[in-house]
A and B are shown apart, each in its own frame.
Chain A
Amino acid sequence: MLAVLVVLGIAVFPLYWIFTTALTSDSELFGSEPRLIPDLSRFPVFIEALVDGQTLIWLRNSLIVAVGTTVLSIGLGIPLGYALSRFSFRGKVAIGVLLLFTQMLPEALLVVPLFALFRQFGLLDSLQGLILADTAFVLPIVALILKGAIDGVPRELEEAARVDGARPLGVLLRINIPLIAPSIAAAAVIAFFSAWNEYVFAVTFVFDKSLQPASVGLAGFIGEQGTQIQTIMAVAFLFTLPAVAFYLFAQKYVVSGMTAGAVKG
């Protein structure tokens, strides 16, 4: 269907253009006839972009922050989701409101107090600080997704395990967790790329060049004259590829995980 192809073209074109621009020679870029098809023979530009300069360091930092955020948010989110799903307790409604309310808060607003807080605790210029900040913002979503998923696990299974003598917490979680694994995966992907793509906290809290994640490194190229556009685009592509590839791969789970949370929650 033509319409679908047009839509896909629009969706994919900018990414394609990053790829193509990286592989275009100077004369073609700045000449009168722009190149529309990537010149694959210039592939080494990606290798160079990866190896020269700060790229590997940036990507490593992004990876550390993303993994840390994922682990921390899932680690906190599973118990929170479970509590919200299975228990009634005083303050449950308040917590629900808190979680939804935090979705309204812009990072740019909280950046200032968090800056002061981090400075007091020596968390500025650290990847741990970024992990803490990023987790705070993604935890509500993760918890809501997981709560929705746990809602879908029949209580009879937990009852049965308890009757069989299962110790309350540990083993019950071992029943729930395998059953909600797709939603955990979805929440993990969301947390990972929320941190991978994150820019505001990274640019405000980290000044040490060796600790900057790729999002900040790339942003530094905007408006700067020194680096070749092909190199910039190559680095951008290397940074974007994991995010996009993972989403393409995991999107089935992400969608069902998110809508399960949204509909049930």
Chain B
Amino acid sequence: MTAIRSKPLRRRKSPLGSRWTPYLLFGPAVLYIVVFQAVPLLQEIWLSFTRTSLLNPGRSVWVGISNYTTVFASESFRQTLLTTLLYVIVCVIGAVVSGLVVALLLNAKFPGRGIARALVTVPWAAPGIATALIATWMLNAQYGIVSRTLNALGLGVGGGGILDNAELALPAILLTTIWQLFPFVSVVLLSALQSVPEELVEAAKMDGAGRAWVFRVVTWQVIKPTVGLVALLITIWSLRRFELIWLMTRGGPLGSTRTLVIDLYSQAFDSKQLGTAAAIGMVGIMISLIVIVGARFVTRATERES
């Protein structure tokens, strides 16, 4: 007897519910992001072509690209760009190199490895304000442990302390930032290191290969893409980082720690110039986009090579 089917089995394109299901699922979230991020961004773009005061934000005067020309012509913005460039480059190199070293160290087997791996995340987990507070205290000219140690070693910095010194403030901020960032790099690279085939490493060592050779030929090849990804991430993040610098130096002394984001915020809330602030912000976004696009090119190019 032939089986009687009451309803033929249908193959649906969407696996469940009506075709509206996906929209219901992602709709609220996407709408949320659009309202709280995309729309403000569009507003910022518009603001960048106006002269608007924080005190009277309803009244905007259209000034075309004059904010941009003023900004690019200004000496102080050139300083901002240079400072930002320096900041980003040192952050990335510092965080990636130190993170990689720590990841390699933590990859070895030793007792208490689990605890070590957990403890190393402390700088990443600590709130930025707490880090800023303790760093400022440690760098306090008279009583901070760093100043005291330096003085004891004869490397005294003199009167105002490190954060008031136009040449030392940025390095101090950079060291603090790298301290915050390296755990993230370590943790990600540590996972990547798990993919390195141990048998290859062991075999190479048994053939008498030196550690450097093993690293260069085996390990590095495996983790290279992850290192690239992490470096890109840190680069983009560096262009956004605000808290630590704002809390520790406000961009001073003499603008030596004034990065793009600090400049932006200062223009908006200190100088009350929303238009200029927006223009600076847009420059920052452009730079981020260039970095991302550039990174994709580099990745494609290196992939084609291998």
Contacts and interface: CB of A to CB of B under 8 A. Distances in A.
Interface residues of B, number: 86
Interface stretch (A39-47, A48-56, A95-103, A180-188): A95-103
Nearest to B144: A34
A80 B134 contact: no
B125 A248 contact: yes
B65 interface: no
A193 interface: yes
Interface string B109-149: 01000001111111111111111111111100001010010
Contacts, number: 245
Contacts of A98: 30, 33-34, 38
A183 B246 CA distance: 33
B129 A197 contact: yes
A129 B9 CA distance: 49
Contact of B121 (A107, A215, A251): A251
B209 interface: no
Most B CB within 10 A of own CB, among A7, A135, A139: A7
Contacts of A113: 39-41, 43-44, 47
Contact of B29 (A14, A77, A243, A248): A77
Given A87-B22, A109-B284, A259-B188, A248 B242 contact: no
Most B CB within 10 A of own CB, among A8, A14, A17, A240: A14
Please classify how large the interface on chain A is, using the bins under 10, 10 to 19, 20 to 34, 35 or more.
35 or more
B32 A106 contact: no
A196 B126 CA distance: 10
B105 A199 contact: no
A83 B26 contact: yes
A160 interface: no
B37 A105 contact: yes
Contacts of B41: 105, 109-110, 113
Secondary structure of the B contact surface, majority rule? helix
B261 A109 contact: yes
Most A CB within 10 A of own CB, among B25, B30, B124, B137: B25
Contact of B127 (A77, A137, A143, A196): A196
A183 to B, nearest CB: 15
Interface in A7-25: 7-8, 10-12, 14-15, 17-18, 21
29 contacts: A7-B105, A11-B121, A11-B123, A14-B134, A17-B145, A21-B137, A79-B28, A80-B29, A83-B22, A83-B25, A89-B22, A89-B23, A95-B30, A99-B33, A106-B284, A108-B261, A109-B264, A109-B278, A109-B281, A113-B40, A113-B44, A136-B32, A143-B29, A169-B16, A219-B247, A243-B127, A244-B122, A248-B118, A251-B118
Given A4-B110, A17-B134, A89-B22, 13 more contacts: A4-B106, A11-B121, A12-B122, A76-B32, A87-B21, A108-B242, A113-B40, A113-B44, A132-B36, A193-B127, A236-B129, A247-B124, A251-B118
User: What 8 A-B pairs are tightest by C-beta distance, nearest first?
Assistant: A136-B36, A247-B125, A113-B40, A80-B29, A168-B16, A83-B25, A83-B26, A197-B127
